[in-house]
Structure 1
Amino acid sequence: MSRIAPLNMADHGALCFDRNAAGATRQIVQLGLSEIAFAAADMPLCLAKDANTGRFDLIALLGLVEPTNLFSFGGHFQATYIPRAALLTGFRLDPNGAAGLAVDVADPTIGTDGEPLFADGRPAPLLGHLHQALEQVMADIAAARTLIARYAAKRLVRPLILSVRKADGRDHDIAGLYTIDEPAMRALPDDEVVALHRADALAPSTILSASLAQIERLRQLHNARFEPAISSCSIG
């Protein structure tokens, strides 16, 4: 359970930030617009609706069955790219906290290992870097939402039907995901395709669709660590 409070020396002076534990318990993580090509090298990229606003968020899928990050093992995030939001799940922007931050002491990155949050009774320089990184990733996530809203307005988003079959014969459906509607994209008039291209919105849609091949990577990672194994995944 999250325990978020304004960061302060009295309560949090002995805490450290362990970036090696980033996203350890996350099955999904939000992505910013600039991360699409990097994250797709490892992870399937999907869309998910925000339960409160109904808008679409861009996410990387980090797990299939277990509510865990399949890339997190051996004390590290085992991927060529770590989504920036995964590194920052232990912090929030808060004007009432030291360095303008709040901290979630239940997050895996917060504890006794790693880089100290405070040094000599004062906020460590690390906190300033974390504050800046949070501002940047929030702006990048907002840019991703703007892009996805453009796709949604043109009816280029469809539900993603993802089901896994375990070696014991049981099926498990992963609900609530969306992806790019490729037939709808191909049916667009030429002038709309050109407009998407000139707005730098065409290439990201192609990467999002292609990244679904990384679901096989998740299946392999699951089978290396968990039983029963996943014998197959179906995508529709």
Structure 2
Amino acid sequence: MRVRPLDLAAHGDLRFDARKAGALRRIVPLGMAEIVYAAADMPICLAKDEQTGKFDLVGLMGLVEPVSLFAFPEGFQATYMPRAARLSGFRLDGQSVSGLAIDRDDPAFGESGEALFEGQRPAPWLSNIALELKNLIADIERARELAAAYADRAVLRPLRIRLERRGAGEHEVEGLYTFDQDALGALDDKAVLAMHRADQLAPAAVMSASLAQVERLRQLHNARFTPVIESFALQVR
């Protein structure tokens, strides 16, 4: 990863092609406001930060290969593109005149798309990117607070996705978490009411239902890669 502050000498000839953004992201973090939109296209799970032990909401965009199955040459083929995918090549940097740093290895940067500089100055549209990043970071933090509430209720369990590949045996996707429906059903009335008033039940239902989108990922995978995935199974431990 080559991340450095936006600079005319280093990035003056670069352009940003949003069609290629997020192409190498198999998993992306999601903000609180994105749950309903992302669920229309991809499974929404939780992932635990190994250093902090805290949970993040994430969208699963790939299964086997370390790429987004929604990324095609003509652009991102889904009804909703997570903000973390679209902004994956940018970082906030308070020392830069634009407030941004650039990951030069991100496929969105190259010879096509919008120019990063107009003359000697960063292009005006980059100021909107910095604002979007700040809003996304705040929204991801709200999602973390929601995930922490689920963890406190002890309703999260590890999720394993077992893929059966034609002639190549099994492949497992691990490191994800989802809801234990039995644990949710065992909550007492006081806990259920508290979660309802805190607007925690509806997101849990949406995320649980979104696991059906693994089938869509299977179809997208089989349209592009071999060996094909013949079947899959979701196991909540």
TM-score, normalized by the shorter chain, greater than 0.5: yes
Match of 1:205 in 2: 204
Amino acid at match of 1:134: L
Runs of 4+ in 1 over 4 A off after TM superposition: none
For residue 125 of structure 2, what is the aligned residue in structure 1? 126
CA distance in 2, matches of 1:98, 1:186: 52
SS in 1 for 2:232: strand
2:52 is the alignment partner of 1:87? no
SS of alignment partner, residue 57 of structure 1 = strand
Q: 1:173-197 CA distances to partner (integer Å, 9 max, x unpaired)?
A: 1110100111111111111111111
Residue 214 in structure 1 maps to residue 213 in structure 2: yes
**How do 1:1-236 and structure 2 match up within 5 A?**
2-236=1-235
Tell me the secondary structure at the aligned position of residue 165 of structure 1.
strand
SS in 1 for 2:154: coil
Q: What is the letter of the counterpart of residue 222 of structure 2?
A: N
Tell me the SS of whatever aligns to 1:185: helix
CA shift, 1:169, in A, is 4.8
**1:74: Cα distance to partner?**
2.9
**AA aligned opposite 1:174:** V
**Secondary structure, aligned partner of 2:98:** helix
In structure 2, the gaps of 5 or more residues are none
Give identity over the alignment, percent. 54
Q: What RMSD, in angstroms, separates the aligned Cα atoms of the two structures?
A: 0.9
SS of residue matched to 1:204 = helix
Partner Cα distance (1:120, 1:215) in 2: 46
Look up the equivalent residue of 1:229 and give its one-letter code: V
CA separation in 2, counterparts of 1:74 and 1:233?
27
Deviation at 1:161, TM superposition (A): 1.7
Once the two structures are TM-superposed, the CA of residue 226 in structure 1 deviates from its matched residue by: 0.9
Q: Name whichever of 105-114 and 80-89 sits farther off.
A: 105-114
Taking a change above 3 Å as real, the CA distance of residues 169 and 93 of structure 1, as seen in their structure-2 partners, is closer
1:179 aligned partner, one-letter code: T
| TM-score, normalization by structure 1 | 0.97
Greater mean alpha carbon deviation, residues 65-74 or residues 133-142: 65-74
Counterpart of 1:137 in structure 2: which amino acid? Answer: L
TM-score normalised per structure 2: 0.97
The aligned amino acid for 2:101 is: A
